[in-house]
């Protein structure tokens, strides 16, 4: 699996023409405003994860359209955290996964953060399990999630997902044990794409950690990615040969490389130069467009696994630095405000 | 791709233990009765397919839950058919396909039949296109259609599909240009599995043509099939390790090798001994269980493409023989009656 | 399978240096003249295809060297066509296929054309069957048809195939039920390459429909195509390392991107940008060289399946337009005249 | 990836003839006695893993031949564990991995155990990194670790690995913060094979947790496993066609299905029925031979990933039950005593 | 690539029902008698191979139908061989190869034998080159050589090949520098199948060396072989679904497992238990049917490469023993006599 | 497998920036000087290879660190060579192979040369067998040989291999039956890379024959090669994300494209433009840097098999020309002098 995308020096300059729809802001304002009319209706139920170092709650809240979204909230054990408010990390999931079992993802809590591990609606029967369905159906689509409702931006699957994710961020930000000014969003692959979207849409995101993000620069991704999940769009257009423009029009409302222009929180990206799932050019398309302070960790010999534990270590150091920085940082506004 | 399933002599005897649920009949009676409370609300709109030998209408009717299902009705040109009522064939689609473009599937009409080419809800962005969405969502599931709602028989995707298909049969059976006593159901792969289900569920099916049918003997299929779509269930259970029994319980209401016991119309099956998608044992499980008069065409050196044009030729001769047989055939009753 | 060939804007400009042999015209004139000395010896035997909308004859005629070539002639049923002369389409086959069963390929007849479905000598044991052998042997060659006799242009397999194809066109053009001024040639993949050759070689071709044509720009094809059939030449040269020039010398007499310069009939090409069998650059090499009026349908997300039913619909509209255009079109002359 | 090994009912009865070498006990007694003549020379250096819930030390000790082996020791944070002695788990690594980064594997510590994560000498440049070399060379061998020194049991690579592993167990068992009567050995794949060996070789193992263990029933494994690492042996014998008996003679000293007969601690195995790396028959060969109290978790739809987080949850419950069982359990003796 | 064929103990007993055609002897007698009416017309032209230890002639002779077949004759250098007559080995080629370059295959000559390296007509553009064409054409066939003319035993490609091979044996047997009573036939894969046929057809074969022979037990081969060349027959029957019996009828005249019953010379076979091209059961079908004295070398961990240099060493020792055995051996008669 | 590397015209100009370490000469001088302090301790034991045209000795000598290295020496039979001193060829082996069986590689001896076929330490359990172990261990490494000791140039595996190879050259150069001024070094793939290194390191190399050489231009090779063995480095760096610079620093001491600058003997390279193992750019990197008189044979349609017998024929003619050239050639000095 050799490097087949652009060389690194060209990646650093790669800025595709991706026109933002005129009504991008209106679309998201309206979407989030409508969602915001419903209360979060959050519930927190303590569960026994089997671990002694972390305390876990089963979380439920009302997402897009009011339907239930599930998550885990992990906090360091009371004996360790005392009564102070914790910084927080909202962690979104990679494609086809879910929040998993209660003990499965506790890195940030083990490092002293309040960690919210959020389901992606409809997903969670793949590499980790989830408990959140998507009650909304779709027009004829490819197997998979990427082409559900892609005919129309109002019906597109990720409209619901990004809205859920934004509300999950608000949930953690406003949690009594959490310092609402110090909440980051994070995720790998699809999780990274969602984090990027939340960075653009939500108000008050303190930092963003998108690792090998998915959902960026769809036009190029569908031409150069070797396989799924971008391949779902390719196969959809292979069948619906007459809908190319229509589909990319919809996707432009959800493209991380478009939304990144509206983000302002400090960001630490990562990219892998041998990534065949989320080719590095698509990641750099988002990174180069990102409007806030930013850094990127480059892994030259990795495929889509990216930096893994190495990147966790990087993130921990970087995030502590960012969140502990002297105050005065203005609260970033979101595209959805 | 060598023969990897059982030898032919064992296939001919293969009868797996597949317990029918106690409430199988109740489940389907209730399902179809509920659906039957809505009128079909059929509309027929002539379209120009570009062909001169066949006349085509764009068909819409109310399927499960009242949502719209689309189909094409093809009739031989008026100059050829005159005023007599035609025998009919309802044709269901293979996995991931749809009714296609108007001129795409006209074999049965070209051979003198009224041919109804029916969409499968939610599908139709693959090898042929469709125009029928599925407005019903699902709990967390694998990409694909096989595990949507598989937690509960009431929510399972194929409950809606089989109901739509049964209503499509009724639609053609009752069409004024059609001789309602001479309507067959047919399909390849998923289409064959659906045809088999309709043969068990509907009243008055005159003949059944299941080619290399899918959706049969799920327990074995998930152990021996090499890939998708059965692989969707495998991957679902790979994630949801604790739901094996629950999933097979649901599937037992939809298994062609269970439903076949309730069918009574004459049937011509086909099977391919090198079929890696729908392994021959799963097809014989249904064939051997089939309760009506039956024959099977065996293709020893074919994979899932099966008999293709050869089988069409077989079917044409066989079907003409069956439909022209002397009257006195009792109207077969369906499981759903 | 991402785009791995040139970007579309470069494809539109791609004009490889492919020198035409000095004696190209002489070679083909002599070849066709020699063939023309034998009568076509055509026979037409009605067969029952099982269809009622189309009438089919089993056709036999003397091809290259006088050996028998088989075809089907399909006409719309007499009740539909009356006594008027029909426009015609000669349809050549994709690699490894044959004319198929009588009912298998009737699209053009169903649309009102006289349709001649011609075998490719020696082929027809693959995706569809054929009934035409090739009585001529060959020097040591790779398995497959592309390197048979490739040492010498006189012995090359496609010399016989193109000659057969040209005579098939003449056969339909001169058929009493056909309007000889309105006969098109068509084909997909190898069939498209053959159609292109006939457009250059025959006199009086009214229109050309090459879909994702094969047999174009051999030098590039052998460097960029991912697999067979072009791979047969690659493997031949992998063994016969000392015959590279000799082989490409032979192929230059048969290269669609060379022959296209001699064609003059209106043409509607199609190309798929993810085509790994006939890479888009090889198709554009022929299209850009094509000397007659031309259009090309571009399918950005398709592999070698190309436009399929969508392209049929395009072709039907386009061909009706071209054939019904006001007279005064001069009869195009062929390279072989 | 269908089930290709024996059906479950046959797996439960599968007991291959695997003769134990006459001098098996002598071989291991001598090996461990020789190793035991060197002190462990353990060092414990606190490191900052970035986590706040777990305290980590970088461990070094003298393994086989006195060469340095590295490990991490993780303890729950002091505030959580207080002064009491903890139960322990020694965790061995899968093929090609190492102990990883300090924060990478802390499940057992997070659950309240002293967790020793041990390197495998020479490995640790694959899915996780390691810091332990193997200073011993080898005769000509296949790339990989499985055929290093396989000509002679004295030189075989796993003689050194099993000895290192046994000494790692002793290290944790004798650690002042650990209750030496409640130390289990655990591992996945190669780690499971090593744990099984330690269960047979060491004295005082309280429980064993082999997940989808590797290194079991080499004769069958080399016939039925689809790929690496067992494939290394296949390729070695493909070249060294004259050494089949010699190689299996060596391997019989290291085969988990032979050594299991000498183990006596309670064991919880796991097996995946679609495991193509460590086929289920090879796991059952060890399980069925295992001489102590035993249970096995069967994952019918999993490949070599096995039970993952589900199995962790199972193990946690089971292990707490076993270790908290009323005293009176005799200290198990090892084959190496 | 695990063992997927029968276990060795069953292989040793495997005797498929392969009925010999009633007219098998007549067919071959007539074929060879007709060929025998033409003189061999041999020519021997010394060539410079570049080697100093072996002297090489370019050989041409009249094969089936009188068409030219090429070979190399290698003799040890005159200084080494003196004037005595040498034992001989005729070596046939694997599928898709030819006699190669003059210096390419000199093992037997280097070991003191007269070695005739014979082309296979039409082949020789693959792993080694050849110079022999096949002037005979064929009915529609799959790419490849196995289905050329397979409709009729008179037209089948291997009728010509086996006849060429028998005449090549006669050529070497009657060469003045060769001791005609001590000429063996040998070959790997297809070469082994041809050698087996010659052992059955020719008179006076002194020994046979079939390595991993191809062309044996076609019915099983087409069911269990994983790929080409047997796959050519599979694909042919996949298309020509109606010719299964006809094809196997033809093949029964050419099946090494049928012809072996007519052979009488001592034979040393070899077989590889992981052979996916020529599965071991097909080799044992021939071996178990072989009517002369016989031995077989079994390579348990090899794929189709078989024993390679190890087997050459075996063959050299065995052949010297057989050819130097005390006289009194009757001259074996061939099926073709 | 299309051409995926640079076009030929760019390959001919390709000169990557590969800085030579400042102490390159010192490193190799010291390494070889230290090795030179030990005598070669050569032993020559005649063996019976089974061949009569070539006489073979089993050779043993002291390589790096004094450990034993094995080789075969083949001479044309005494009756052919008389008493004159022969020109010589030292042949190094491809990755994972060894010297093989005694009769296996005798091309150069058959052509009148003294041929020394040398093992590569630790290798020889792959495509041919070897008898030379590597008694030196390594830090944690990937399976395979390329990353053993790659942390430090002193410990790197190829430091030992190149030293062994240099000493093997000296052994043949100084053999009493050999004309020491006419000894060439040769090899394919890894063997070619080793030959190139010896050409740079040893004194008195008369000619160099590197075919499709491996071990050249590591930075590019790890980015563009499709698989192993270069993939071993890729996977190592995929795990050890923090060692990229360190690893390439080590490799710069062993890179054929760096060492080639120090070579002066006439060289005949070969390269294959479809080589996916040793991509052509990496070969041209070495060729373009090569400091002596040079030619290169280009095989446009070959993968890593390269020119095979065709190239042998080329080499034989070229080498005879070079070695028989009029004297006056200065003895080339090596980098290691």
The predicted-structure confidence for B195-244, as pLDDT tens digits, reads as follows: 999 999 999 999 999 999 999 999 999 999 989 999 999 999 999 999 99
Q: Is A261 exposed, middle or buried (0-12, 13-18, 19+ CB in 10 A)?
A: middle
Chain F contact present for E78, CB below 8 A: no
Alpha-carbon distance values, A74 to A49, A102, A106, D103 (Å): 10, 9, 7, 17
D134 is catalytic: no
pLDDT at E332: 64
**Residues in contact with D205: Cβ distance below 8 Å, sequence separation at least 6, in sequence order:** D169, D183, D184, D185, D198, D199, D263, D265, D332, D334
The per-type count for chain B, helices as H runs and strands as E runs, is: 12, 10
Chain B contact present for E17, CB below 8 A: no
Do residues D1 and D276 lie in contact, with contact meaning Cβ atoms separated by under 8 Å? Answer: yes
Do residues E334 and E202 lie in contact, with contact meaning Cβ atoms separated by under 8 Å? Answer: yes
Task: Specify the residue for token string 């796959």.
Answer: E231
The mean-pLDDT minimum among A109-123, B93-107, E2-16 falls in: E2-16
The ranges assigned to domains in chain A are: 8-323
**Residue D125 three-state SS:** strand
pLDDT at D332: 64
Residues F222, A301: C-beta atoms closer than 8 Å: yes
Tell me which chain C residues have a C-beta less than 8 angstroms from the C-beta of F302. Answer: 238, 241
pLDDT at F326: 58
Residue of E nearest to D277 (CA): E2
84-123 of C, contacting F, C-beta below 8 A:
none
φ and ψ at residue A76, rounded to 5 degrees: -55, 150
Token pair listed for F320: 């005879």
A with F: 3 or more CB pairs under 8 Å? Answer: yes
pLDDT at D328: 47
Is the pLDDT at A332 greater than 70? The verdict is: no
Q: What is the mean pLDDT of chain A?
A: 96
Question: Cα(B319)–Cα(B312) distance, rounded to whole angstroms?
Answer: 10
Catalytic residue chosen out of the listed positions F175, F255, F275, F281: F275
Catalytic residue chosen out of the listed positions C57, C189, C270, C281: C189
F189 is catalytic: yes
Do residues D299 and D306 lie in contact, with contact meaning Cβ atoms separated by under 8 Å? Answer: yes
Q: Is C7 exposed, middle or buried (0-12, 13-18, 19+ CB in 10 A)?
A: exposed
Q: Which band of pLDDT confidence, cut at 50, 70 and 90, is reported for residue C1?
A: low
Chain segment F101-155, per-residue pLDDT in tens: 999 999 999 999 999 999 999 999 999 999 999 999 999 999 999 999 999 999 9
Is the pLDDT at F278 greater than 60? The verdict is: yes
Exposure string of C166-180, with b = 16+ CB inside 10 Å and e = fewer, is bbbbbbbbebeebbb
pLDDT at C328: 47
Q: What is the mean pLDDT of chain F?
A: 96
CA dihedral angle for residue A176, residue A178, residue A179, residue A181, rounded to 10 degrees: -110
Taking residues E90-106, report their average pLDDT. Answer: 98
Question: Cα(B139)–Cα(B129) distance, rounded to whole angstroms?
Answer: 26
DSSP state of F262: G
Sign of CA dihedral C319, C323, C326, C329: positive
Q: What angle do CA E319, E325, E328 make, to 5 degrees?
A: 130
- The neighbouring-strand residues paired with A88 are A114, A183
φ and ψ at residue C43, rounded to 5 degrees: -125, 145
Do residues F193 and F162 lie in contact, with contact meaning Cβ atoms separated by under 8 Å? Answer: no
Token pair listed for A231: 């391949």
Name the residues of A annotated as catalytic: 189, 275, 304
Q: Which band of pLDDT confidence, cut at 50, 70 and 90, is reported for residue B328?
A: very low
Question: Cα(B143)–Cα(F175) distance, rounded to whole angstroms?
Answer: 70
CA dihedral angle for residue E313, residue E315, residue E316, residue E317, rounded to 10 degrees: 90
Is the pLDDT at B332 greater than 80? The verdict is: no
A294: number of Cβ within 10 Å:
17
Nearest to A131, CA basis, from B140, B148, B237: B140
Nearest to B189, CA basis, from B334, B307, B110, B107: B307
Q: Which residues of B are annotated as a binding site for substrate?
A: 95
Q: What is the mean pLDDT of chain E?
A: 96
Alpha-carbon distance values, E313 to E105, E296, E308, F102 (Å): 15, 14, 9, 10
Residues B235, A125: C-beta atoms closer than 8 Å: yes
Tell me which chain D residues have a C-beta less than 8 angstroms from the C-beta of A51. Answer: 110-111
Is the pLDDT at B135 greater than 50? The verdict is: yes
Chain segment F312-327, per-residue pLDDT in tens: 999 999 999 999 875 5
**Residues in contact with A227: Cβ distance below 8 Å, sequence separation at least 6, in sequence order:** A276, A277
Taking residues F172-189, report their average pLDDT. Answer: 98
Alpha-carbon distance values, A31 to A90, A122, A155, A205, A260 (Å): 21, 20, 11, 19, 18
Residue of E nearest to B298 (CA): E241
Task: Specify the residue for token string 């303890």.
Answer: D75
CA distance A120 to chain B (A): 9
Q: What does pTM read for this prediction?
A: 0.96
Question: Cα(D261)–Cα(C223) distance, rounded to whole angstroms?
Answer: 59
Tell me which chain B residues have a C-beta less than 8 angstroms from the C-beta of D306. Answer: none
Q: Which band of pLDDT confidence, cut at 50, 70 and 90, is reported for residue C337?
A: low
DSSP class per residue in E125-149: BSSSB----EEEEESS--SSSTTTT
Residues F223, A3: C-beta atoms closer than 8 Å: yes
pLDDT at F4: 82
B49 is catalytic: no
Is the pLDDT at A328 greater than 50? The verdict is: no
Chain B contact present for C321, CB below 8 A: no
Q: What is the mean pLDDT of chain B?
A: 96
Q: Which helix (H) or strand (E) holds F201?
A: helix F190-201
How much is the CA Rg of chain D, to the nearest whole Å?
19
Interface test with C, best of B47, B49, B51, B53 (most C CBs within 10 A): B53
Residues F3, C224: C-beta atoms closer than 8 Å: yes
Question: Cα(A114)–Cα(D208) distance, rounded to whole angstroms?
Answer: 34
What's chain E's length in residues? 337
CA distance B1 to chain E (A): 5
CA distance D273 to chain B (A): 9
Tell me which chain F residues have a C-beta less than 8 angstroms from the C-beta of E111. Answer: 50-52, 103
Is the pLDDT at D149 greater than 70? The verdict is: yes
pLDDT at A330: 56
Nearest to D34, CA basis, from D148, D122, D168, D163: D163
pLDDT at D324: 87
Tell me which chain F residues have a C-beta less than 8 angstroms from the C-beta of E76. Answer: 52-53
Those chains having 3 or more beta-carbon pairs within 8 angstroms of chain E are B, C, D, F
Residues D300, B244: C-beta atoms closer than 8 Å: yes
CA distance B298 to chain E (A): 10
Residues E128, C239: C-beta atoms closer than 8 Å: yes
Chain segment E222-272, per-residue pLDDT in tens: 999 989 999 999 999 999 999 999 999 999 999 999 999 999 999 999 999
- The neighbouring-strand residues paired with C138 are E134
A with B: 3 or more CB pairs under 8 Å? Answer: yes
Taking residues B90-114, report their average pLDDT. Answer: 98
Is the pLDDT at C326 greater than 60? The verdict is: no
- 3-state SS string over A27-57? HHHHHHHHHHCCCCCCEEEEECCCCCCEEEE
Angle between helices B230-239 and B244-251 (to 10 degrees): 150
Tell me which chain B residues have a C-beta less than 8 angstroms from the C-beta of C101. Answer: 309-310, 313
Tell me which chain F residues have a C-beta less than 8 angstroms from the C-beta of D125. Answer: 140-142, 147, 235-236, 239-240
The CATH number corresponding to E8-323 among 3.90.1150.10, 3.40.50.1820, 3.50.50.100, 3.40.50.2300 equals: 3.40.50.1820
Q: Could you tell me if the ipTM is greater than 0.85?
A: yes
Catalytic residue chosen out of the listed positions F60, F189, F252, F281: F189
pLDDT at E335: 75
Q: Which band of pLDDT confidence, cut at 50, 70 and 90, is reported for residue A324?
A: confident
Chain segment D14-43, per-residue pLDDT in tens: 999 999 999 999 999 999 999 999 999 999
DSSP state of B28: H
Alpha-carbon distance values, E124 to B21, C69, C71, E94, E164 (Å): 63, 29, 33, 10, 15
Do residues C300 and A236 lie in contact, with contact meaning Cβ atoms separated by under 8 Å? Answer: no
Task: Specify the residue for token string 């809240």.
Answer: A61
pLDDT at F329: 55
**Residue C58 three-state SS:** strand
Alpha-carbon distance values, A314 to A108, B32, C13, F242 (Å): 13, 59, 47, 12
Token pair listed for C61: 């005629």
pLDDT at E140: 95
Strands A68-76 and A267-272, bridge-based pairing? unpaired
- 3-state SS string over D35-73? HHCCCCCCEEEEECCCCCCEEEEEEEEECHHHCEEEEEE
Is the pLDDT at F256 greater than 90? The verdict is: yes
pLDDT at C333: 67
pLDDT at B330: 56
Q: Which helix (H) or strand (E) holds E109?
A: helix E107-110
Chain segment C148-184, per-residue pLDDT in tens: 999 999 999 999 999 999 999 999 999 999 999 999 9
Nearest to F190, CA basis, from F158, F224, F235: F158
Chain segment D296-317, per-residue pLDDT in tens: 999 999 999 999 999 999 999 9
Q: Give the closest of C224, C234, C241 to F307, CB-based.
A: C241
Taking residues E121-150, report their average pLDDT. Answer: 97
Residues C242, F310: C-beta atoms closer than 8 Å: yes
Q: What angle do CA A167, A173, A175 make, to 5 degrees?
A: 105
**Residues in contact with B275: Cβ distance below 8 Å, sequence separation at least 6, in sequence order:** B212, B283, B302, B303, B304, B306
């Amino acid at each position: 699996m050799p490097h087949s995308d652009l060389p690194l020096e060209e990646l650093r300059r790669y800025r595709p023409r991706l026109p933002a729809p005129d009504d991008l802001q209106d679309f998201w304002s309206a979407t989030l405003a409508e969602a915001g009319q419903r209360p979060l209706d959050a519930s927190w139920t303590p569960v026994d994860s089997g671990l002694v170092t972390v305390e876990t709650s089963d979380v439920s809240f009302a997402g897009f359209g009011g339907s239930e979204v599930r998550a885990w909230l992990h906090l360091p054990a009371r004996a360790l955290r005392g009564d102070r408010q914790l910084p927080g990390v909202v962690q979104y999931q990679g494609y086809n996964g879910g929040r998993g079992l209660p003990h499965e993802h506790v890195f940030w809590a083990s490092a002293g953060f309040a960690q919210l591990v959020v389901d992606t609606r409809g997903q969670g029967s793949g590499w980790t399990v989830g408990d959140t369905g998507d009650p909304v159906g779709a027009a004829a689509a490819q197997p998979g999630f990427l082409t559900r409702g892609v005919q129309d931006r109002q019906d597109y699957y990720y409209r619901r997902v990004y809205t859920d994710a934004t509300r999950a961020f608000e949930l953690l930000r406003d949690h009594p044990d959490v310092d609402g000014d110090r909440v980051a969003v994070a995720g790998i692959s699809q999780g990274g794409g969602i984090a990027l979207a939340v960075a653009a849409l939500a108000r008050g995101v303190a930092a963003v950690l998108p690792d090998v993000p998915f959902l960026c620069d769809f036009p190029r991704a569908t031409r150069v990615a070797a396989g799924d999940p971008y391949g779902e769009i390719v196969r959809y257009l292979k069948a619906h040969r007459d809908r190319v423009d229509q589909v990319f029009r919809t996707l432009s409302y959800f493209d991380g490389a478009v939304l990144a222009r509206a983000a302002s929180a400090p960001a630490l990206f990562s990219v892998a130069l041998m990534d065949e799932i989320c080719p590095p050019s698509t990641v750099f398309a988002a990174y180069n467009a990102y409007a806030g302070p930013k850094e990127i960790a480059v892994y030259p010999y990795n495929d889509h696994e990216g930096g893994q534990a190495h990147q966790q270590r990087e993130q921990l150091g970087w995030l502590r630095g960012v969140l502990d920085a002297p105050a005065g940082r203005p609260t970033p506004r979101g595209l959805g405000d």
